[in-house]
Amino acid sequence: MNNGIVYLVGAGPGDPSLITLRGVECLKKAEVVIYDYLANEQLLSHAPESAVRIYAGKIGGRHNQGQDEINNLLVEKGRAGKVVVRLKGGDPFVFGRGGEECEALREAGIPFEVVPGVTAAVGASAYSGIPLTHRDITASVAFVTGQEGKGKNESNIDWDRLSLGGGTVVFYMGITTLRHNMQRMIEHGRSPETPVALVRWATTDCQQVLVGTLADIADRADESGFKPPAITIVGEVVSLREKLKWFDKRSLCGKKIVVTRAAEQAGEFSAKLATRGATVLECPTIRLVEPESWQLLDLAIRELSGYDWLVLTSGNAVRYFFQRLDMLGLDARALGSCRICAVGPKTADEIRSHGIKPDLVPNDYKAEGVIDEFSRLDMHNNRVLFPRADKARDIIPRELKRMGAHVDSPVAYRNIFPDRLPPETLFALEKRSVDCITFTSSSTVQNLAAMLGEELLHDMLKGVAVASIGPITSKSCRDLGLRVDIEPKSHTLDALAEALEAHFG
């Protein structure tokens, strides 16, 4: 059997978006992924579902597999003809023992490729606001292991040069030996007042930064219970942190927020929260699917030019309507003189993407606002097409009919339960590590209650702030016995994100 190939891929310092494009390419074709404790598990989603995933990191602070065992595993899988990704935290060749693994593969005749990653020192530097070099402060930086091999009688570290050189020094894996390392630097001539920063879980939502000096940082770490994994940065550049820090100044930094929108819709809102520093857990409680029959909508579309108004109340309605229009071999010209009402600015933007400018965009995005706008027009004998979700409120067609309009309201899409809720979200709720849950429609909260049961819903949301996009959704929350903590004045995703900022800020 032909040998496979092993890719040693740097997973980066923790933030899953910091992996390289080449790293993702390798993961996408992996048959086996062997990953470390410091490699973000979210990166495993890039690998095919069929790929075998093997954890080779630490369990309970101890190595799950020794280095020799990992080397043998890489050789075994390579000889079996597998495409193997060895996913390593940071960079494989910077305190990652990637060199040892490559030596084992070379001796066994297994082809390999090394894919660099953002090393922990660089990630910690950038995300803590501490430049490792600065033209006015230092032009050199040294990366040093904080823990030399056990059983060594003499240190391989040149403490004199390290201490007297004046450059930035970064210790990897040095929290358990912090006091010893800081004392050695002082003993070899570095000023006790030299600034020091410890950066724990750099680039992740759990990032912590502790600042002190060579003389007192160990005491500060003991007092605060500062634990590994962390990077230690020593040098005058640390003094720039107060001026340059950005990551931990974001309004939602450190907050874990659950987004319950449908999977195909969640990305936009999740991105708004992530850019504000939140850790987002997507928990779709809705799955959007086609109607059981297209018959009524197709019939309406074929007579589209005979309608006076087309009312679209969401981006979903726009997408499903125009997809069906295209499936029938038609385009926007089929509208003829039919005018369009768009409910909300996002819906209006979706319509404009099809080259059509809406004729009416109510200021109030609720159904009541739509009715108020139409009440100012003569709707007698007007034909109105209202493509809707299967569980949409009936207030718009009902009230338009009272005004004398003829309304057709075929189902354009259905909201159904997803197959299951994401286990990582349920686990976070059970651990009481979630700060807020967001609901962007009545269906999102009603479906979650139906899937969990009301008793479990109330138990899991104890101490969790509930954010609702508007009064209709808020009423659904309260009907289920939930207290609504956050509701924006304007019922949009942007306004909801701003309301979350204000609440947690």
Active-site residue list = 36, 58, 173
Closest CA to 79 of 55, 52, 104: 104
Q: Which tokens is 63 given?
A: 């190595």
The residue type found at 185 is: M
Amino acid, single-letter form, for residue 91: D
Distance between CA 407 and CA 413 in Å, rounded? 18
Strand partners, 257: 280, 436
If you write DSSP's letter for every residue of 254-322 in order, what string do you get?
T-EEEE-S-HHHHHHHHHHHHTTT-EEEE----EEE--S--HHHHHHHHTGGG-SEEEE-SHHHHHHHH
Whole-angstrom Cα distance, residue 445 to residue 60? 37
Q: How far apart are CA 231 and CA 86, in angstroms?
A: 23
Which residues have C-beta within 8 Å of that of residue 56, sequence separation ≥ 6?
Answer: 34, 35, 36, 64, 65, 69, 70, 73
Write out the two tokens for 203.
């680039």
Q: What tokens were used for 296? A: 């009524």
